[in-house]
Chains A and B, each alone.
Chain A
Amino acid sequence: MIEELKNTFKSFNEKFSKKNTIAKIRTDNFEKFVQLGFPSKNLEDWKFSDFNRIIFNKFKNININLDQQNKFKFNKYIKEFEHNKIVFLNGFYNEHSFEHENEEKIIFDNLKKGPAYKEHGDNSLNFLNNAFFTDGLLLYVKKGYQCKKPLVIYNVFNTKNNNNFFNQKIIINVEENSKLDILVYSINLNSVPIFINTSNFFLVEKKGLLKLFRINELSNKDLNYNFTQANVMDNSIFENFILSCSSAFFKNEIKCTLQENYSSGFVNGAILAHENLHHELKVNIKHIGQNTKSYQKINSVLSKNSKAIFQGKIYVDSNAQKTNGYQLSKAIILDHNSEFDSKPELEIYADDVKCSHGSTSGSLDEDAIFYLMSRGLNRFDSKNLLIKGFLADAIETITNEEIKKYFLNKLEKKIHEFR
């Protein structure tokens, strides 16, 4: 696959990169990727998700076809709540509307012109993203502006066989005293399996507030790796929630750096992995400033040969006194052939901190089933209510009421479909 990818990259870069300097940076990234290859379980960060094996099992080839244009109209917009929108079709910017906002306060650009990002770090999928990304979003919410409605980023896919590999970036800067709520909604309308590799960067400046929510409606053959780096500054808040319930493989990796004093990071999620799904949530929270606060609550339900993983780390820098860090992962495994792996970690170098973590996994509580059945509900409905309640308990952490309600409805539908 790598050899074919080399050819794909060569023709892609010739066609896509307008300047030599840009072509060079992309080539550097690609070479880095080739050196490292797809991540395998030999890497600590991937010990529970052998991506190299997964992609070779699921895909013969991954391909980008720039000639395949997006000649379809997407109109299944979310009706449940009013929102601004940006639509990407098969990885390319299509349209946007900030109808609910003062447009002077929002600077928006797509990344179609193809800037380049130098290689950095050691994440081979990030290198791959830097080499191949075709489009994305660059957005600034100007100082002091509080967006009135959420922004929904629609990633819509409707693709043919020789175009199954998509690399995007979302780069957002919430400036001082400003506020933005985003829902990233990815949907695959076609049955052609796709691999989406996304890198996202967020900066929340002084007293800013960024809420980031994510839900996928991908098929059970799709792969999605989603990398997010959020830097949270003085007195600002980053809130993140992922409802992880579709695609064969879905790994969300979130690095949240609480850079300055009194900043907070909330990274919560619900995983509903049913029928051969493999979902991972990897969170790394770095407390750098003082009086910073982090909170993680992840609830997972697994069934029918599924696997879910939670890797969560709270790192407290020697400077980060008065840190308050909390992490709790709970999983319910509905049958014997599903697996949940958890790796909670604390790494603390300051002495005046309060950190706690916990991880539990088990089956549904028979006493709770008995309680519900004794009230007239049958066993099936009792179990469903418990599963729904368990995941809803994590969704309840969402502080945007409209999106919370939307997610609770989605959850209800998903459970109905699955059971």
Chain B
Amino acid sequence: MLNISNLSATIENKKILNDLNLSIKAGEIHAIMGPNGSGKSTLANVLSGKKGYEISGNIKYQDKDLFKLDIEERAHQGLFLAFQYPLEIPGVNTSNFLKASLNAIRKSNGKKEFDALEFLKIVKKKAKELKIDEKILNRQLNVGFSGGEKKKNEILQMSLFEPKMVILDETDSGLDIDALKIVANGVNTLRDKDRSFLIITHYQRLLEYIKPDFVHVLMQGKIAKTGCSELALELEKAGYEKI
């Protein structure tokens, strides 16, 4: 699904990612943990195509060169990033935005676009399944949303777009236990042999609800250690310094 080799990323003369290698197969869930400043969010940004980084190395996504795809093309081909800090967009109705996005993705895949009624039916069903209050659909996109509501909105989008490769960038940060369960439930429902996840997190807590196949420790821009889900527990006890 995703093959990262020798990836380095520099911003403002600061090397954030340093010769990183990571391979994710279809159906796998990988967790990346790491201290502040280790490059976790940069990795998420580079994967989704954010500009401003000087990049070297290779990323193959579904056997294609990821760097040849523009930001929206990555989304069309099933790459989804749940943002650490989803942006507030005043004046843009959440439901209209979701419909425009979903239809843009469908259109690029040669599928029929949903009309307003069809869309509403689908999005309401998804919201209900995820136990997300459908009232957020009529509000301006993320404007005045609580931290939890913003993250739930990301999970709703993930569930709606049915991506192939999902990156969750600290989606668990700042969530109470109920919201955390909603996020985990969203991921577990989508878990599928054809779909992969990269979960970036600070804490082991989320991994109690989502069982990863691999846990990686990211330090100074590269993978310092890889293990199974027990590694997360060790890190929780001992911290990153021992690595």
Contacts and interface: CB of A to CB of B under 8 A. Distances in A.
Interface centre among B71, B86, B91, B104 (most CB of A within 10 A): B91
B92 A385 contact: yes
Interface in A374-419: 374-379, 381, 385-386, 388-396
B101 A376 contact: yes
Given A370-B50, A370-B71, A371-B83, A376 B91 contact: no
Contacts of A371: 83, 86-87, 89
Interface in B128-163: 140-141, 157, 161
B90 interface: yes
B24 to A, nearest CB: 19
Interface residues of B, number: 30
A122 interface: no
Contacts, number: 80
A391 B90 CA distance: 9
Interface in A338-394: 365-368, 370-379, 381, 385-386, 388-394
B105 interface: yes
B158 to A, nearest CB: 11
A389 B51 CA distance: 23
A375 B50 contact: no
Contact of A374 (B71, B90, B92): B71
Contact of A391 (B51, B91, B161): B91
Secondary structure dominating the interface of A: helix
A373 B75 contact: yes
B89 A386 contact: yes
B90 A381 contact: no
Given A374-B81, A377-B101, A378-B104, A389 B72 contact: no
Contacts of A373: 49, 70-72, 75
B72 A378 contact: yes
Interface in B100-128: 100-102, 104-105, 108
User: Range of interface residues on chain A?
Assistant: 20 to 34
Contacts of B89: 368, 371-372, 385-386, 389
Contacts of B72: 373-374, 376-379
A376 B81 contact: no
B150 to A, nearest CB: 11
B92 A388 contact: yes
B240 interface: no
A365 B108 CA distance: 25
A370 B101 CA distance: 13
Nearest to B83: A371
A390 B90 CA distance: 6
A141 B45 CA distance: 60
Given A373-B71, A376-B105, A385 B87 contact: no
Instruction: Please indicate which of the listed interface residues A365, A375, A378, A388 has the most CB atoms of chain B within 10 Å of its own CB.
Output: A375
Interface of B: 48-51, 70-72, 74-76, 80-81, 83, 86-87, 89-92, 97, 100-102, 104-105, 108, 140-141, 157, 161
Given A389-B140, A393-B90, 16 more contacts: A366-B51, A370-B51, A370-B71, A371-B86, A373-B70, A373-B72, A374-B74, A374-B80, A375-B75, A376-B101, A376-B161, A377-B104, A378-B72, A379-B72, A381-B100, A385-B100
25 contacts: A368-B89, A370-B49, A370-B50, A370-B71, A371-B86, A371-B89, A372-B101, A373-B70, A374-B48, A375-B75, A375-B161, A376-B75, A376-B76, A376-B101, A376-B102, A376-B108, A377-B72, A378-B72, A381-B104, A386-B89, A388-B91, A389-B90, A390-B91, A392-B92, A393-B91
